[in-house]
Structure 1
């Protein structure tokens, strides 16, 4: 039975602070390539054009064969060109390059991504925009956003707040949406049950993967700092299948045939 992997980037392959490969990360990708093990690098990148981010990862030593980020899904989901969007300046610039028109007065869709320095005024503006449209889009469903060792509300947390404020549902284009995982699955043509997802985000990535019957490996090299942070908050059925400190431990386990 052929098996494969979905592999997160920030906090899993790349350190959130130093922005360098985490111990064992480059070696893990190289091992998969050399042994023809199918995989997809799955990231919630929303700061760079997809091709630019792939190139950045390659410059860090990752010879990536398959890749997907939320922009792949956004192109399919977002039909309108007039949008109210929140995120970093880089994110907004990418949207403009994709042909979208940013307008907070005359718009059809609200799009939210991550930014370190959101203020209450920003959240108030998001809520007002959400009252004016039924098309609410989250770039991804991260629980927390890690930056320079601190944890900030992720897009999933922000959108949950907006949903509660305006009583409207929203659509997620990145992880952990079914559309995102399904597009990644098709890249390697495996059933979900034969795929293991590796990530540092239990709530934002791995719970959605478990719902699709994928196996889950949590790493403690990113936003999740300890086993206790997760184990003590989840039902037994939702716990990750395995917990590792970093990618070097996962590589060792893979070589032993344990995963």
Structure 2
């Protein structure tokens, strides 16, 4: 019998980096939790803004981490871009593909004809898909601008400005899209998070309603904002990019339904964040938290109290060290990384 937060839903749309794994290392408890869900016949679609890798390559990585072979699928923003164009263009229409291998692979799967910069016809192409790739060149970026100015539909897989790497932050696809925009007056149609397209593609694969779907992610500005844009409930996990402080100061459009330290929270009672605080807490430098209080209720109350104060125009302590100490108190230290 299903129990915990997940008992309220029939399927999960789940982010990857910072939620399931960090690079080559799984987040503690994530694989075990996901295998438990599939064993309970809860369908999972992993939805990623990363357009550079084909979905099957992402799937291979998940299996290497120990995820079972059934009960889940992967969709990428490249596939969302290809699906968007496939609904609007005839089969085998040439599309200028910019980015990693995931972009042309998705276009081919959707019945379109990806063409690289050396294969472009003399006539303008009908559409351009721009995604991230480590070998994207100035010539390709310039050609995106030329084609768009000649009337091509311009689809961007995502607008993430930064890509985390082992050596530190690097320019993401959003930075490359902005480069093209600086030379044109055009604006692309964006399919990746926080736009709703990728989530709608994932939900269609799940074959369930919006109210039956739970989105899990670690980024407020993409995962959670995208879930809200798509009309789905969401769980923010504090195992990746967003911290407790980020959550407390989140704008209304980026506020999740629930919060947990990691994906293991799916198997525990949900901490609903759109209800009145259950405990009285003071979010000032002089505030004293009740050390004997239930940590889960305390976490919920901290977040809901912060939101209520901010919405009322009141001040909430912003000191980063104070919030780090609070994370330690709530046993969230090490959740982010």
Instruction: Say yes or no: TM over 0.5.
Output: yes
CA gap of 1:82–1:60, structure 2 versus 1, over 3 A, is same
Equivalence for 1:187:
205
CA gap of 1:26–1:163, structure 2 versus 1, over 3 A, is same
CA distance in 1, matches of 2:102, 2:43: 30
Equivalence for 2:26:
21
Q: What are the within-5 Å matches in structure 2 for residues 76-115 of structure 1? A: 76=83, 77=85, 79=89, 80-83=93-96, 85=98, 87-88=99-100, 90-91=101-102, 94=105, 99-103=113-117, 106=121, 107-108=124-125, 109-115=127-133
Query: Over aligned residue pairs, what C-alpha RMSD do you find?
Result: 3.3
Query: Within the alignment, does 1:66 sit opposite 2:72 as a pair?
Result: yes
User: Which segment is superposed worse, 156-165 or 128-137?
Assistant: 156-165
SS of structure 2 residue aligned to 1:26: helix
Aligned length: 250
Q: How far off its partner does 1:177 sit?
A: 3.6
Residue 205 (structure 1) aligned to one of 211, 223, 248: 223
TM-score (normalised: structure 2) = 0.61
CA distance in 2, matches of 1:20, 1:96: 30
User: Which segment is superposed worse, 184-193 or 90-99?
Assistant: 90-99
Q: How far off its partner does 1:15 sit?
A: 0.6
Equivalence for 2:44:
39
SS of structure 2 residue aligned to 1:190: coil
Residue 137 (structure 1) aligned to one of 130, 151, 155: 155
Equivalence for 2:263:
247
SS of structure 2 residue aligned to 1:196: strand
Q: How far off its partner does 1:13 sit?
A: 0.8
Q: Is the 8 A contact 2:54 2:105 kept in 1?
A: yes
1:50-81 superposed Cα distances (whole Å, 9 cap, x missing partner)? 22332332122112523222343344315432
CA distance in 2, matches of 1:155, 1:216: 25
CA gap of 1:183–1:91, structure 2 versus 1, over 3 A, is closer
SS of structure 1 residue aligned to 2:60: helix
CA gap of 1:40–1:97, structure 2 versus 1, over 3 A, is closer
TM-score (normalised: structure 1) = 0.77
1:228-257 superposed Cα distances (whole Å, 9 cap, x missing partner)? 34543x423532233434334x24xx2335
Q: How far off its partner does 1:207 sit?
A: 0.7
CA gap of 1:168–1:141, structure 2 versus 1, over 3 A, is same
Query: Within the alignment, does 1:10 sit opposite 2:17 as a pair?
Result: yes
User: Which segment is superposed worse, 148-157 or 208-217?
Assistant: 148-157
